[in-house]
Amino acid sequence: MVLWGPVLGVLLVVIAGYLCLPGLFRQQRPHEPPLDKGPWPWLGHVIPFRKNMFEFLKHMRAKHGDVFTVQLGGQYFTFVMDPLSFGPILKDVERKLDFVQYAEELVLKVFGYSAGQGDHQMIRSASTKYLMGDGLKDLNKAMLNCLSLVMLGPTGRSRGADRWQEDSLFHFCYRILFKAGFLSLFGCTEDKEQDLLQAEELFVQFRKFDLLFPRFVYSLLWPREWLAVGQLQQLFHKMLSVEHFPERDGVSSWIHYMLRHLREGGVTPAMQDKFNFMMLWASQGNTGPTSFWALLFLLKHPEAMQAVREEATQVLREARLEANQYFVFELSALQCTPVLDSVIQETLRLGAAPTLYRRVHEDYTLKTASEKEYLFRHGDVVALFPYLSVHMDPEIHPDPTAFKYNRFLNPNGSRKVDFYKAGKKIHHYTMPWGAGVSVCPGRFFAFSEMKLFVLLMVRYFDLELVDPDTPVPPMDPQRWGFGTIQPSHSVRFRYRLQPTE
């Protein structure tokens, strides 16, 4: 008879030894940053990191200084917290730091998408062509139409639209930006009512996935949640399937270009569906939450709201919306709104907290701005968390936790781009979009979408907080590192279309 108990015991010891031994023996070598392996073999600091990354990194920086290596689940991460030393990492002229491989592993796990060679470059070419410059004009037009459709319905302004309604501000913003963003990128059909229903259904499912997302990435789901994530993934693949694309009108050139490239490269339709899901996630996960913070800050800061309203009145003179009409909006107005630009930048400074990762694929020496040299070990990951090291640095942004709507304006009203640290002008004075090879290729479109939405809200609607004294809610600590942070809870607000009389 086989004695399974001892066999299993030995097996567990072998596995644990295999996982933990390299960590147990790892020591800080000369010129390497301070090494903090954490209290648990293999796990290291993973528990406090996942619980609240911001607080954890603050603590580590206080303990070790601006450059340190920590162990997180068997992997070593070197955090660089001095923004004056970001340049060499982001430029990476020696090509020793890799973003693509790291990202490919993540998207395989999260979206089931197995990236082909050259995908990253292809996404960047498509984005340069269609999400920036002239290509962006068509998309802005599509977005304005879709915002009108989602906010007013297929027949435009309806009777009774000037009655006050109440909603959760977060849900309201996320839902509108998601649906309008989805329809402008993935196209509509002849049947607008049906499009709205489909977009609504997609949003409901997207939010379920979104709520599980941080713990999914960290593999911390309960078995039932794993099942739910699997089912949601399948649902998205079905709803976004390329099979339905012939029925859709006005699919954006951005999506068209990328799908054609995949098709011509022999990528299967099933894998193209997964690609669509990945693009839906990248394009819709942050604009809604950012717009929520922007509107909330405006509602909490009347002087900011007044400045934005005055600017909106100047650039959008005609704001009367008759029955059955869509919003009247000259898109060139988007070029003339320095105050709103500053509001959105300030909102992103306070609300967007991505982590930038690069895998070290050859030993790499970082020369910091203070002339120190640090050796980064092959196989480790270099990480930047600009929210703490840039956005919240009081030297770069005095009184960093306060919302100042004109922080990014010069006294003469022009855009402010000069920020300093230790007497040196700093290039990356905010980094909501990441930077370097992984900088968000949708940033110009995202900026326009959010500006369009805020301009429509302040120009065409009356809006107010149900309780004007309600405090700005805290950030949900689980979401540090994942783009725009969501609030721990929402706030209620009232809105109505301005009466025509």
Binder to ligand HEM among 58, 64, 120, 192 (CB under 6 A)?
120
What are the beta bridge partners of residue 97? Answer: 360
Distance CA(144)–CA(141), nearest Å, equals: 5
d(CA 141, CA 135): 11
- Smallest distance, Å, CB 276 to ligand HEM? 12
Min separation Cβ 96 and ligand HEM, Å: 17
Q: Among 35, 103, 221, 375, which residue sits at the site for ligand HEM (rule: CB under 6 A)?
A: 103
Binding mask 324-363 for ligand HEM (x = CB under 6 A): ----------------------------x-x-x-------
Stretch that binds ligand HEM, among 299-307, 364-372, 374-382, 427-435 (CB under 6 A): 427-435
Count residues contacting ligand HEM (CB under 6 A)? Answer: 23
Q: Map residues 428-467 to x or -, x wherever contact with ligand HEM holds by CB under 6 A.
A: ----xxx---x-xxx--xx---------------------
Backbone region of residue 28 per phi and psi (left: phi > 0; alpha: psi in -120 to 50; beta: other values): beta
Q: Which two tokens stand for residue 165?
A: 């309604």
Instruction: Extract the tokens encoding 45.
Output: 């600091």
- Selection from 337, 323, 483 nearest residue 405 by Cα: 337
* Least Cβ distance, residue 311 to ligand HEM (angstroms): 21
- Closest approach, Cβ 261 to ligand HEM, in A, equals 14
286 has binding-site annotation: yes
CA distances from residue 42 to 13, 50, 105 in whole angstroms, order as listed: 14, 15, 20
**Nearest one of 182, 180, 186 to 259, comparing CA atoms:** 186
| DSSP one-letter code for 84 | G
**Interacting residue with ligand HEM among 78, 484, 486, 490 (CB under 6 A):** 484
Tell me how far, at minimum, the Cβ of 501 lies from ligand HEM, in Å: 37
Beta strand pairing status for 381-384 and 356-360?
Answer: antiparallel
Residue whose Cβ sits closest to ligand HEM: 442
In the window 238-257, what residues touch ligand HEM (CB under 6 A)?
A: none
Smallest CA-to-CA distance from 184 within 94, 255, 289 is with 255
Nearer to ligand HEM, 116 or 153 (CB): 116
Query: Footprint of ligand HEM on residues 273-302 (CB under 6 A)?
Result: 282-283, 286-287, 290
Question: Going by C-beta distance under 8 Å and a sequence separation of 6 or more, which residues neighbour residue 145?
Answer: 184, 326
Cα gap 84→424, rounded to integer Å: 8
Tell me the Ramachandran region of residue 422: left when phi exceeds 0, alpha when psi lies from -120 to 50, beta otherwise.
Answer: left
Residue ranges for the known binding site for heme are 440
Residue ranges for the known binding site are 109, 286, 440
Residue ranges for the known binding site for substrate are 109, 286
Residues that bind ligand HEM (CB under 6 A): 103, 120, 123, 131, 282-283, 286-287, 290, 352, 354, 356, 432-434, 438, 440-442, 445-446, 483-484
